Structure 1
């Protein structure tokens, strides 16, 4: 927060102006004006190091409209009453607090501090009466009694006002129930799960010490740690067990902090894990300028995501795949879960996402929606280890610069798959994941549209990810140059059994891809069936030769209950190599493509037809 604006209100003659003047001059004023001028206290002399404005409101000098304006500008309101005037005490609940509620900003209650002045002239405290008022108005953060004349509790009064803004209680605690709020419990539950590094349901001593250092940057000595655990155990015997601090104990610990007036401790933890004053999870600096299609996971976070999956439980480790219930548990504290699953990445025979598929899911999400990927990573605790969430994402340079330098740092490549209706685009995408026709027939494209698939391949010993994007036939001709240049190449599919399908991609290439210098390759689908001559002046082979798209179109088929995608090079008839060469050629094409160059060598090979080759990819 940039600064704190404190507004003082109350009945006449309760000492509002005296409080302000005594704070500034450090002596009680002999002559008190009707109203003190607004003052600003520099950050370097305030306990919380925040610039603070103090505004005195005078009923005799100002109008009600001005009061309403000041209420809406204030970050906190001090309602001052006189300890020697019972009427001013009564008006706190009968007039001032209802007035503040009436004119506060929508959905944003202004924290209130009740200030009892003139304690030097009173022999009787009003705290019992004021505490009843606090229970009826949750926006009241605290109350304090002071004396402007004796300078008693003067600086403490304004410090409490600062704390009410910087560390509001009403977001954390329900005084009527004496329990943490639902939002606070949810946030702390997420934090507990992040800090439970071994995922056993307990925070052991090592994890508690790490938590202390990460949140407060100071170590926790063994004696202090034991005192904390004993304090929790006295309040909640189930909060501390032999294995460590339980979730119940963690929540109890923070409830004790709030009840003892140390809510700044709980706020320090919440803010360390990315929460704002409304307990909303925020990702600072998450705008990635112009990089929607040029974002990829950093190498460090790739390993972290793999470890994240391995930490879910023994099932995920033992089977190299993750049950849906385990994924649900993993993302329980996230407002959303990664999209594009399960039909966009690799799963096992039971439909459980594999380790390879899990990482591919993150690669795909980061490439398409980097801001959303960052939000999820923050939810899962990435900033517990790294201060800056943007370190999880590497923003690559523009493709044209890669072409100029003939080198690239990119690890993710996008191919747009286009063709007429029913040429087999969906089969082409699912073939990347080793799916067969039987599986593809189960896809409900109306309810769960699948536009992308993503899988890893190895290129000269280095991992790369290939993303295939299906472009609907009705939208292909409307693609803008910007949309076209998002991809590294285009795969143009035609059905060799349909004489009308080739002219669609020929027209698409000549009118859209070639003018925009988009590298392309032609693929004849359903190659296990008899080929029919196409209704086009040039044959597919002649078209490829004329426009330098390779010797012949590549041939693709996906048939049989146990057959993975097969891609055969036209004219050679032999089985081609596994997909490792696909990404190698894709990367090479990305660097070699230039004016007049539309090489199709990157797609000289695609998916394997045997399960052993597929296993090498996982």
Structure 2
């Protein structure tokens, strides 16, 4: 903040001009002019690192209402002065209603001036009978202070309080009526406690407290300060501080003590280090950073992003069973608004691989984030901000990084021409691919999704109404790892196909039919005739329920001649109970998505050597290596725990 405008208000004769003169001259100045002209106070004057570059002081007179309104509307803070019982009563009866009628919502620093005239009045009496009733009645009043311009008593402190009311406001933090921290402040401080509790044991250890001090205030804390803090907390709230450290209740009590003793700039120092604004919301640049994504590009997690999510999983898998149960997930998402809405809509954790207890595994956890990054990177950036990516206290790395470093943008996918046919070019740096599975109702699409996630086949049939989605990693020949997102559209199939942006985000189509139903394949022929844009995408034809008796299709063309006419391989025969056939399908879907030329309908076929030497097969190893390393990291972690 470069400057602060302080408007000094109050009734005639309360000593407004004398306070300004005493502040500037550092002594009482008798016989001064009625209204002092605007003054600019440089930063060095206040001798505070928290002060703005300069502060503008504006003296006013209540008789010039036009000028008063003009200055108040431009002000950052009001320095409101009274000196006796009459002018005190005017605070609530005239001045604050007047400010409200102007439509301003400014902090007010209330100043009881001329206390040198009656030294018999005890400060405690003023506090209980004058200040506290006004603090409880008017939320605008930020602070109260007793001054004497004649004796130059507390004048500098009053001026600093005006500055602090703008730079470090107490109103968002503390409720004088309830004598407690406000709910938003409590929520923010709880999140900070969560981020600083690196081992998630429920305590800020001595080491973590020292790191918090260094991160927020760039200075260390000695053992005596630690002992004083912990002993003070233990005295006021038994059990809040121990050899383990300070628990969440003690951390909140410590910050409440700072607010009550006028040290709320300490609280703001902590809050602003963790990117909280005066409204106690996190800065937009943390939750919603700008990230340029080029047309026809996708967004994926970077190695740093994968590593952060692996560490997060391991930190909250408290029972070391390799899965996050409902309680552990709840704790993990504690500093955020909860599990993302898109996850709920995709029926997480049913959308990913889970263990026998239904808890999401590390494999499923990373797959879910890979899918969310591909489909909605803004949500991923927002949640990385909530999780404190770059903000978590780490004794080995203090460098804060933007959340965008956890993501990467792939190269743009371009289009090529083969005679009169256009097709998508290969992009070698992609490791996440999106597949739409289309086919007639009851052909086995849902069972295919369940098998994709390693779940047992269920003979019970339930028609798919709402879209379903599944994501899992696929291992290709040579050990390369990719993620494949498979979406079943349900009753929204037609609407999605007609949506050009939805088709643009699709990398490959899985066109499925029931090989045991003679009426099934005609559905795919009609679908392609109805929606010609499907021919722009690579396609893989699949004959499901291959473990049942194959039926002759009653269609305009038989499946094999039909796919041959499109220059595509014949349909793969797949059964949910045949694991090897499923692996072959998944590999073929990824290869078709990565190298569209080999699977786009009606293109001239490539030679065998061209297929084997596809750029994708040569160049997509980097992210796969990271995923393999993540699994090895997890295995090593559990072996070390045994």
SS at structure 2 position matched to 1:238: coil
Instruction: Report deviation, 1:473.
Output: 2.3
Tell me how far apart the structure 1 counterparts of residues 546 and 567 of structure 2 sit (CA, whole Å).
Answer: 22
Farther off after superposition, 418-427 or 323-332: 418-427
2:427–2:595: 8 Å Cα contact kept in structure 1?
A: no
- 1:190 is matched with 191
Aligned with residue 589 of structure 1, among 587, 595, 601: 595
Partner in structure 2 of residue 295 of structure 1: 299
Once the two structures are superposed, the pairs formed by residues 279-294 of structure 1 within 5 Å of their partners are 279-284=280-285, 285-290=288-293, 294=298
How many Å separate the matches in 2 of 1:469 and 1:166? Answer: 51
Q: Closer, same or farther in 2 for the Cα pair 1:249/1:400, shift >3 Å?
A: same
1:295-344: CA deviations, max 9, x gaps? 222212312222222222432x1x21122122122223321213131221
Query: Which runs of 5 or more structure 1 residues have no equivalent in the other structure?
Result: 569-575, 604-614
Question: Aligned to 2:377, which of 366, 370, 389?
Answer: 370
Pairwise mapping of residues 186-585 of structure 1 onto structure 2 (< 5 A)? 186-284=187-285, 285-290=288-293, 294-315=298-319, 317=320, 319-338=321-340, 339=343, 340=346, 341-385=348-392, 386-400=400-414, 408-438=428-458, 449-459=466-476, 460-471=478-489, 472-480=492-500, 482-509=501-528, 512=531, 517-534=536-553, 536-550=555-569, 552-558=570-576, 563=577, 567=581, 577=584, 581=587, 585=591
- Structural RMSD (CA): 3.9
State the distance in 2 between where 1:148 and 1:598 align: 93
2:107 paired residue number: 111
Number of aligned pairs? 581
- Partners of 2:352 and 2:42 lie apart in 1 by 56
Distance 1:235 1:201 in 2: 19
TM-superposed CA distance for 1:345, in Å, is: 0.8
Aligned to 1:59: 62
Q: CA deviation at 1:433?
A: 0.5
Change (3 A) 1:546 1:190: same
Q: CA deviation at 1:288?
A: 3.3
CA shift at 1:598, angstroms? 8.6
SS class of match (2:279):
coil
Give unpaired runs (5+ residues) of structure 2: 393-399, 417-422, 617-630, 636-642
2:318, 2:328 within 8 Å by CA — same for their partners in 1? no
**Alpha-carbon deviations, 1:201-244, whole Å to 9, x = none?**
21212222222222223222333322322232232231111222
Once the two structures are superposed, residues 421-456 of structure 1 have per-residue CA deviations (whole angstroms, 9 ceiling, x without a partner) of 433333333322112332986x8966xx45321112
Q: Per the alignment, do residues 233 and 310 of structure 1 end up closer, same or farther by CA in structure 2, a change over 3 Å counting?
A: same
Deviation at 1:586, TM superposition (A): 5.0
| 1:45 Cα deviation from its structure 2 partner | 6.7
TM-score (norm 1): 0.81
- Deviations along 1:90-128, one digit per CA (max 9) or x if unpaired, are 2112332344456556xxx53221123345655466743
Partner of 2:511, secondary structure, is strand
Judged with a 3 Å threshold, the aligned counterparts in structure 2 of structure 1 residues 25 and 557 are, in CA distance, closer, same or farther, namely farther
Deviation of the 1:17 alpha carbon: 4.8
Q: What secondary structure, in the 3-state scheme, does the structure 2 residue paired with 1:557 have? A: coil
CA contact (8 A) 2:411 2:427 kept: no
TM-score, structure 2 normalization: 0.79
Go from structure 1 to structure 2 and tell me whether the alpha carbon gap of 1:262 and 1:104 turns closer, same or farther (over 3 Å shift).
farther
Q: Please name the residue that 1:169 is paired with.
A: 170
Task: Measure the CA separation in 2 of the matches of 1:388 and 1:487.
Answer: 29
